[in-house]
Structure 1
Amino acid sequence: MEKSLQKLEIPESFRQAPFYKDRQVIEAALISEEAVFQLPFLYDLCYHANPHTLSFWPWSKKENYFHEYWMKQRESIRELFHKREQKKAEFPMLLSVSVFIDQLFWSTGRPVDSLTDQRLLQGIQLLPFAPLNIEERLVYLLRQPDRFLSYIQLDELEQEFTKRHSAYQKRRQKKY
């Protein structure tokens, strides 16, 4: 599932801090399994630019992408905080938060459609498996990704999401 893009325009609804506030275009991008973890919301942006770019989108699967990603990144980010290198931890934390947001939406079989505070938080509030107080916790993560407390919060959100989503899937399977 690899495809190369020469230019990808970022919709106004995705030009939000802390991700693409001052950026209008991604000059070149490679859409691949790894790319989802290198550019925030790459698949969502590609889908909104042209839903026919790919024949298969990651939200069509039932995988917990974030769990796998976080298990690989968690220790290296923790180590940066341990060394008091908050500025170096900021970008990996932002990538991790973006993958977490993706996972929240992708778990419902749909892409993220906007990063504006109101639309993003409204979409997350509707999730039947969203962690408790997700709105406040996510706002904190987005405003202060270079804090160790944000790292702890994201780790807790990952654990809560994994448990709640698993329980939700089991309940749905019993119904059908």
Structure 2
Amino acid sequence: MATFLVLIPPGALSGDEKARFVRDRFSWVAFFLPFLWLAWHRAWLAAALAFAVQMLGSAISDHPVFGLAGLGVCLATGLLVALEGPSMVVAGLERKGWTIDAVISAEDRATAEDIYDMETPAGETKARDGVSLPASGTATRPHAPMLGLVGFKEGR
């Protein structure tokens, strides 16, 4: 089962036809070509940063002593984008005013779209209160962890 985040444009109501489905999963294309994957998803700043880091890693890998370190930098960049790329896309859309309308677990996108359409029948479109994600700004904790790291200002 895959998890899909459903985002709606600014000012739209639940069940909007322009809703965007983002599959939250590991991407092999993003692992091997991180800057192209980010550019395809219009994350321009992240794409430029990934390109610069990969070029730095490539330049370091030509050095006889630090060759493996350069390869490690390139692989780490690819792994980070492959794992966190969908989150970067969602964050970019949220900065543009899109809101997360639903989180759906489904086998494929077509099934996720069917489930989303069944949740909000035609004619009964309404605004939802919002979806509370564990690391979102609506979390009850003041400093939610990021990228799987522990939040340190929460106390022990």
* Bin for the TM-score computed over the shorter chain: under 0.3
Q: Which has the larger radius of gyration?
A: 2
TM-score, structure 2 as length reference: 0.28
Higher relative CO (Cα under 8 Å, sequence separation at least 6) belongs to 2
Q: Which of the pair is proportionally richer in helix? A: 1
TM-score, structure 1 as length reference: 0.26
